[in-house]
Structure 1
Amino acid sequence: MDTNTQPDAIELIRLTDPSQSISVRLRSTVPAHEDLGVRYYDAEAVVTSGFVSGTVYLGFDSEDLTDWGRLLDAIEEAGQDADPDEPFTADWPPSGRTAYLRLIADDPYVVEVHDGTSTQIVVSMPLDMDDEWIAASRQRLSAARVALVR
């Protein structure tokens, strides 16, 4: 953990296979600011592999948490009706405001980390995730919601 990450920081997203991972860690459960009932949080996307490792700022708001839950539902639903020619693709949080993840539900999954608002660098990582990753992601989301309500 770097020195800018607060002791109460939690992991919201963890997408991993045996050799590499991408995660999103909240830097703190305290909102960076609040506007009209929407809370804004500071987080970081962390890429770890034998080839490339790095961290980039990723901000999101309380409504993006709901979007992450919907995205997990959509990926699960798309998996049942998978089209090998056009895999399901979605961004979280929505692109344009901060760095973001692009999930491509292919075999294997591909997760891209886009630093579109700053360096324009994109890191693309294929991940051979197990069948339980969506359930584990929902558990992390639920834990994050509980932590952020306190």
Structure 2
Amino acid sequence: MFPYDLVRLSDLENEVVITVLSPMDSPFWEAQIVVTSTFVKGTTLLVLSPAKLDSWAKALGELRRGRDIVWMETDRGPTISIQLDGERDCPEVVVEDESLSMVTVRIPVALEEGWIADQQARLGRFKEQV
């Protein structure tokens, strides 16, 4: 089961992936965010909890309704924002790691149709296994 790509937002050039690395003290999981583009590559760690998984499910519902989202904003650690209509005519993913590295990265990702359903399926498979 581990590692498991819980979130994979990718096109041919840019990618944001959240990989669950291993279980920690129940019910928490160690994970990492990896941002890769032709220009930049970065990684930061985070801890996932059932509450964060539930808020991701709600965020995916908002995206399905055509609304931009901010995920994990109130927690210590990284924040993920997805803007559906970015400056480059495709969604943009913003990863802010203000609590640790103080770095923010904005990545345009030309996502294929059905990408939200794919993220919902990934989340569902993870929840079934844990």
Per the normalisation by structure 1, the TM-score is 0.78
How far the C-alpha of 1:60 sits from its partner, in A, is: 2.0
Alignment of 1:140 with 2:122, yes or no, is: yes
How far the C-alpha of 1:89 sits from its partner, in A, is: 3.1
> Which structure would you say has the larger Rg?
1
The 3 A distance-change label for structure 1 pair 94 and 60 is farther
Alignment of 1:97 with 2:97, yes or no, is: no
Question: What are the within-5 Å matches in structure 2 for residues 80-91 of structure 1?
Answer: 88-91=67-70
- The 3-state SS of whatever aligns with 1:24 is strand
Residue in 1 that maps onto 2:107: 125
How far the C-alpha of 1:90 sits from its partner, in A, is: 2.1
Alignment of 1:76 with 2:70, yes or no, is: no
**Consecutive aligned runs of 4 or more in structure 1 exceeding 3 Å deviation:** none
How many residue pairs get aligned? The number is 127
> Unpaired segments of 5 or more residues in structure 2?
none
1:27 corresponds to which letter in structure 2?
A: L
- The 3-state SS of whatever aligns with 2:123 is helix
1:13 and 1:137 in contact (8 A); partners too: yes
Residue in 1 that maps onto 2:14: 20
1:96 and 1:116 in contact (8 A); partners too: no
**How far apart are the structure 2 equivalents of 1:94 and 1:61?**
14
1:96 and 1:117 in contact (8 A); partners too: no
- The 3-state SS of whatever aligns with 2:3 is coil
Q: Identity of paired residues, percent?
A: 26
Query: Residue 52 of structure 2: which of 47, 59, 64 is its match?
Result: 64
- The 3-state SS of whatever aligns with 1:27 is strand
> Unpaired segments of 5 or more residues in structure 1?
1-6, 80-87
How far the C-alpha of 1:62 sits from its partner, in A, is: 0.7
- Superposed CA offset, 1:52-111 (max 9, x none): 11111122211111111111111111x2xxxxxxxx432222344111211112141110
1:98 and 1:116 in contact (8 A); partners too: yes
**How far apart are the structure 2 equivalents of 1:121 and 1:95?**
17
2:54 corresponds to which letter in structure 1?
A: T
**How far apart are the structure 2 equivalents of 1:89 and 1:121?**
21
How far the C-alpha of 1:147 sits from its partner, in A, is: 2.1
- The 3-state SS of whatever aligns with 1:56 is strand
Per the normalisation by structure 2, the TM-score is 0.89
Residue in 2 that maps onto 1:46: 34
